[in-house]
Every structure is written in structure tokens, then in C-alpha cells.
């Protein structure tokens, strides 16, 4: 194994899942300008996440329905004239 390849500046950082508001604290080297004060009274650097294991459909078992049929219909109605000219 190579020596001295891992960073040495690990510190406690709060990660917040923005989709459900869950915040958890773990060690990280990620840099951020934002901070948050948690229930324990301490202030931590804050990293905002779009999704975590508490909101990801694979872990929760809840699948989000995406309206792809509506998107296709919207596309065809928007470009109907162009598609009709191309068909002739």
C-alpha cells in the first residue's frame, strides 16, 4: 500500500438531505462555507445533499412516477407542424 495518500484533515461535518431534511454528522474532508448548529449545541460545517439513503427510492422502496407520456405528447403538440411537413 502507498503511504501518505489519504488526507489527514478529517473533521466532523453535518450532511443535510434537502429532499427530506434529515441531517447526520460524520467525518469528512469536504470543504464548505456554510455552517449549521445542531441539537447538541455544536456548530458544524454543512454539506447539502440532493439525495441520501433515507430518500433514495432503492432504499425506501417508494418509486417516483415520472410522466413520460405527457412529455411525449407535449413534444408532438409543439412540433406537430414541422412533423407534418416532413411527412409530406
Count of structural domains within the chain? 1
31 occurs within a structural domain: yes
The model carries a pTM of: 0.61
| SS3 state of residue 72 | helix
**In sequence order, which residues have a C-beta less than 8 Å from that of residue 24 and are 6 or more positions away?**
14, 15, 52
Q: First CA to last CA across the chain, in angstroms?
A: 67
What local confidence, expressed as pLDDT, does residue 88 receive?
64
Query: What's the mean pLDDT in 44-67?
Result: 75
pLDDT grade, residue 46 (50/70/90)? Answer: very high
What local confidence, expressed as pLDDT, does residue 32 receive?
92
15 occurs within a structural domain: yes
Domain hosting 38: range is 11-87
pLDDT beyond 70 at 29: yes
Query: What's the mean pLDDT in 35-41?
Result: 93
Amino acid at each position: 500500500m502507498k503511504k501518505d495518500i489519504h488526507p489527514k484533515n478529517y473533521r466532523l461535518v453535518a450532511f443535510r438531505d434537502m429532499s427530506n431534511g434529515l441531517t447526520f454528522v460524520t467525518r469528512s474532508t469536504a470543504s464548505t462555507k456554510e455552517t449549521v448548529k445542531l441539537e447538541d449545541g455544536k456548530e458544524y460545517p454543512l454539506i447539502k445533499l440532493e439525495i441520501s439513503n433515507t430518500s433514495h427510492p432503492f432504499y425506501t422502496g417508494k418509486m417516483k412516477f415520472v410522466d413520460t407520456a405527457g412529455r411525449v405528447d407535449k413534444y408532438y403538440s409543439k412540433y406537430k407542424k414541422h412533423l407534418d411537413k416532413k411527412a409530406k
